[in-house]
Amino acid sequence: MKFTKMQGIGNDYVYVNCFKEEVKDPAAVARFVSDRHFGIGSDGLILIRPSEKADCTMDMYNLDGSQGAMCGNGIRCVAKYAYDYGIVDKTDIAVETKAGIKYLHLTLKDGKVSEVRVNMGAPILEAVKIPIVSEKEQVIDESLEVEGKEYYITGVSMGNPHAVIFLDYSPEELELEKIGPSFENHKRFPDRINTEFVHVLNRNTVEMRVWERGSGETMACGTGACAVAVASILNGFTEEEVTVKLLGGDLKIFWDRKENLVYMTGPATTVFDGEIELPEAIA
Ligand SMILES: N[C@H](CCC[C@H](N)C(=O)O)C(=O)O
């Protein structure tokens, strides 16, 4: 199977061009290729497939084989891939996802994609649509007990579910691998959840770490950064333009409250092209 390894501020996936390749069992292939010792090593698998309604379709699978509806760092790389590998010959691109069609703009420098701006659509705040079990219609700064400790979460979906927690200290002090799974699998999250731990630095800047549903801690999460910016604005901590500092780099998020649309701007990088022999059982 031919693939391209790409990363968006360190959130790395194996990309397969399904205009040319066929992947019969994406969940199993995701688990195999993601393994950093027996496979290629990645946060998951992204299939780039034809679409009837857009320039292409993005299907995203986490490291554990579960499918996510949307992937922010991933969709920037899909747009760059589509341009670089000739699926499109324009810089305004539409990508179909399970969270609807997303519209992207590629910025070129010396003919190369240097930055990608994504219209991520409207944030979803209704608890039942995230989903998060709650008595209230929205989950804003709501208490959640995890392993006997009380945290306060703000729930936002960007097509995939997020619980945002604000700390008054740097998230680098957290032992994420210890507490992450307890959030991910908490009974109040029927579809599991991506959890972001945030420290507000000023009215336009926050720093965060993320424990992703199905992938564990990643260097960055685009939809997570959008959820963090929305939660920061809802809680009155920042302005509508927020620089989100993640382990792998920064993303610029703008929540246009008038249009109720979230824009994410960041890089997309191709690491290498490769070919891998899949085990017979999943080939
Ligand atoms: N890393 C991705 C998000 C993956 C979300 C996935 N973990 C799920 O929702 O199951 C991003 O850049 O948005």
- Ligand 1 atom with least separation from CA of 215: 7
Answer yes or no: is 73 a known binding residue: yes
Q: Please give the pLDDT value at position 78.
A: 98
Distance of alpha carbon 7 from alpha carbon 218, whole angstroms: 11
Q: What is the DSSP letter of 83?
A: H
Domain residue spans of the chain = 2-111+267-275, 127-259
Kindly give the distance from the C-alpha atom of residue 236 to the centroid of ligand 1, in angstroms, as a whole number: 25
Q: Please give the pLDDT value at position 220.
A: 98
Domain 2-111+267-275 and domain 127-259 have a common topology? yes
Per-residue pLDDT band for 5 (boundaries 50, 70, 90) equals very high
Nearest to 198 by CA among 140, 161, 257, 153: 153
CATH topology of domain 2-111+267-275: Diaminopimelate Epimerase; Chain A, domain 1 (3.10.310)
Task: Answer for the pair 255, 229: CB distance below 8 angstroms, yes or no.
Answer: yes
Instruction: Tell me the per-residue pLDDT of 160-183, one tens digit each, with 9 for 90 and over.
Output: 999 999 999 999 999 999 999 999
Per the DSSP assignment, residues forming a β-bridge with 118 are: 104, 264
Distance of CA 61 to the CA centre of its chain: 11
Task: Answer for the pair 200, 237: CB distance below 8 angstroms, yes or no.
Answer: yes
Write down the catalytic residue from 56, 77, 221, 226. Answer: 221
**What pTM was computed for the model?**
0.98
Report the mean per-residue pLDDT for the chain: 98
Distance of alpha carbon 36 from alpha carbon 55, whole angstroms: 31
Kindly give the distance from the C-alpha atom of residue 238 to the centroid of ligand 1, in angstroms, as a whole number: 23
Q: Ligand 1 — pocket residues by CB below 6 A?
A: 11, 62, 68, 71-74, 160, 194, 212-215, 218, 221-224
Distance of CA 205 to the CA centre of its chain: 19
Cis peptide bond prior to 123, omega within 30° of 0: no
* Annotation says 221 is catalytic: yes
Task: Answer for the pair 43, 12: CB distance below 8 angstroms, yes or no.
Answer: yes
Q: Please give the pLDDT value at position 133.
A: 98
Kindly give the distance from the C-alpha atom of residue 225 to the centroid of ligand 1, in angstroms, as a whole number: 10
Instruction: Tell me the per-residue pLDDT of 70-93, one tens digit each, with 9 for 90 and over.
Output: 999 999 999 999 999 999 999 999
Per-residue pLDDT band for 107 (boundaries 50, 70, 90) equals very high
Answer yes or no: is 72 a known binding residue: yes
Distance of alpha carbon 24 from alpha carbon 72, whole angstroms: 25
Answer yes or no: is 249 a known binding residue: no
With the most atoms of ligand 1 within 8 angstroms of its CB, the residue from 212, 217, 269 to mutate is 212
* Annotation says 56 is catalytic: no
Kindly give the distance from the C-alpha atom of residue 110 to the centroid of ligand 1, in angstroms, as a whole number: 31
Prediction ipTM score: 0.93
- Ligand 1 atom with least separation from CA of 218: 1
Q: Please give the pLDDT value at position 65.
A: 98
Distance of alpha carbon 230 from alpha carbon 221, whole angstroms: 14
Which residue intervals of the chain are DSSP H helices?
Answer: 26-34, 72-84, 176-184, 222-234
The single-letter code of the amino acid at 37 is H
| Neighbour tally for 234: CB within 10 Å | 18
Pairing of strands 194-202, 161-167: parallel
Residues in contact with 109: Cβ distance below 8 Å, sequence separation at least 6, in sequence order: none
Answer yes or no: is 222 a known binding residue: yes
Kindly give the distance from the C-alpha atom of residue 150 to the centroid of ligand 1, in angstroms, as a whole number: 25
Options 3.30.460.10, 3.10.310.10, 3.30.70.120, 3.90.45.10; CATH of 127-259: 3.10.310.10
Distance of alpha carbon 185 from alpha carbon 160, whole angstroms: 15
Write down the catalytic residue from 56, 71, 77, 226. Answer: 71
With the most atoms of ligand 1 within 8 angstroms of its CB, the residue from 67, 132, 160 to mutate is 160
Mean pLDDT over residues 32-52, rounded? 98
Per the DSSP assignment, residues forming a β-bridge with 254 are: 241, 263
